[in-house]
Structure 1
Amino acid sequence: MYESEVIDIIKSEVAFMGTIDENRPHVRPMKPYIDQEGHIWLFSRYDSRKVSDLKKNPRIELCFLDKKQQVLNIYGRIKDETKAGSPTFQVIRDMMLHDIPEMKHYFKDDNKDSLVIYRFIVHDVRFMKADCQVTTRVNLPMEHDPDTELSMCQGGFCLVE
């Protein structure tokens, strides 16, 4: 399988995140963060359209295209909304800043109260090599157990409950 390549793409590339507001899709660039346990985190300004879309429908898809023309699609839903001031926010923010220093301009002290961090619950991963061969396909239907998720582990995709 290609789990290490998937993790490398998440860590190194910008994703395009798709949300739905009523009947219209919205796509915007996002820089996800993957922690040591394999959980994916996203952040946003609290007053953005993205946050409004996520309140109406927490299901999203991230799409990555790397320099080798490999495509990675990850589908799932946003779980926890973590606002500034909470211990979880501070821990995740500090880890993000340590691992992705270019994100510092988003977390300035004067705007930290206007940010929110979300945990992305992964239910479907599709990785396609440049030759258009689907090499990894993992699917956990949300309807059966919405709290079961995939975690990105170096040895493979791990189930988390």
Structure 2
Amino acid sequence: MKATAKFLMTLALFMATTTLSAQNTEKVSPTEVMNYLQECGVFFLATVEADQPHVRPFSAVTVYENHLYFLTGKKKDVFKQLKVNGKFEICGLKRNGTEWIRITGRLINDDRVEAKQFMLDKNPGNKMYSATDNNTAVLYIQDGTATYYSFASAPRTVKF
């Protein structure tokens, strides 16, 4: 009986804390999140196919029209997986090894040539893509949530 009461008290405290923190989530500019990812250099994007998660490295990121954008190819599995299920998770680790970010939301394809060209202009190293080819895909985050972690402080969760 004591264990059950202790468990219920812990659960109630957890639920109260979670509800309170969800109500107090700070809204930030996607530029803040982009800058953090750029400090990481390489970050990892996870998708799912059926019941199997898939993770791959990314580095091309920019903000366009107040949305955080990423670049990939339509022929790649990552794009095919996101077409079926737009939910994703990103994890990026700063080079100091003690700070990281996790990002969730939904990735939405933007087929406009202007969005593709903007992304390519901001990430000129991606020579294999063109704004007018049938392969280039730029995707932006909808309903983004980022949580900043550090070994030195409590996590900070934001919406963007």
State the distance in 2 between where 1:46 and 1:36 align: 20
Deviates more, 1:9-18 or 1:24-33: 9-18
Q: Determine helix, strand or coil for the equivalent of 1:113.
A: coil
How far does residue 36 in structure 1 lie from its aligned partner after superposition?
5.0
How far does residue 10 in structure 1 lie from its aligned partner after superposition?
2.1
| Aligned-CA RMSD value | 2.6
Unmatched runs of 5 consecutive residues or more in structure 2: 1-25
> In the alignment, is the contact (CA less than 8 A) between 1:10 and 1:32 conserved in 2?
no
Instruction: Pick one of 104, 111, 116 that aligns with 1:75.
Output: 104
How far does residue 134 in structure 1 lie from its aligned partner after superposition?
3.2
How far does residue 132 in structure 1 lie from its aligned partner after superposition?
4.8
Return closer, same or farther for 1:6/1:96 CA change in 2, 3 Å cut-off: same
Greater strand content: 1
Greater helix content: 2
How far does residue 95 in structure 1 lie from its aligned partner after superposition?
2.0
Return closer, same or farther for 1:123/1:97 CA change in 2, 3 Å cut-off: closer
Q: Determine helix, strand or coil for the equivalent of 1:107.
A: coil
Residue in structure 1 matched with residue 36 of structure 2 by the alignment: 9
Residue in structure 2 matched with residue 120 of structure 1 by the alignment: 141
> In the alignment, is the contact (CA less than 8 A) between 2:105 and 2:144 conserved in 1?
yes
State the distance in 1 between where 2:83 and 2:34 align: 27
Residue in structure 1 matched with residue 16 of structure 2 by the alignment: none
Unmatched runs of 5 consecutive residues or more in structure 1: 139-149, 152-161
State the distance in 2 between where 1:73 and 1:116 align: 23
TM score, norm. by length of structure 1: 0.67
> In the alignment, is the contact (CA less than 8 A) between 2:107 and 2:139 conserved in 1?
yes
Residue in structure 2 matched with residue 98 of structure 1 by the alignment: 121
State the distance in 2 between where 1:10 and 1:133 align: 19
Report the AA paired with residue 76 of structure 2.
S
The sequence identity of aligned pairs, in percent, is 19
Q: Determine helix, strand or coil for the equivalent of 1:47.
A: coil
State the distance in 1 between where 2:52 and 2:73 align: 21
Residue in structure 2 matched with residue 60 of structure 1 by the alignment: 88
How far does residue 37 in structure 1 lie from its aligned partner after superposition?
4.3
> In the alignment, is the contact (CA less than 8 A) between 1:128 and 1:136 conserved in 2?
yes
Report the AA paired with residue 76 of structure 1.
G
> In the alignment, is the contact (CA less than 8 A) between 2:47 and 2:88 conserved in 1?
yes
TM alignment of 1:128-147, pairs within 5 A: 128-129=149-150, 131-138=151-158
Residue in structure 2 matched with residue 27 of structure 1 by the alignment: 55
TM score, norm. by length of structure 2: 0.68
How far does residue 58 in structure 1 lie from its aligned partner after superposition?
0.9
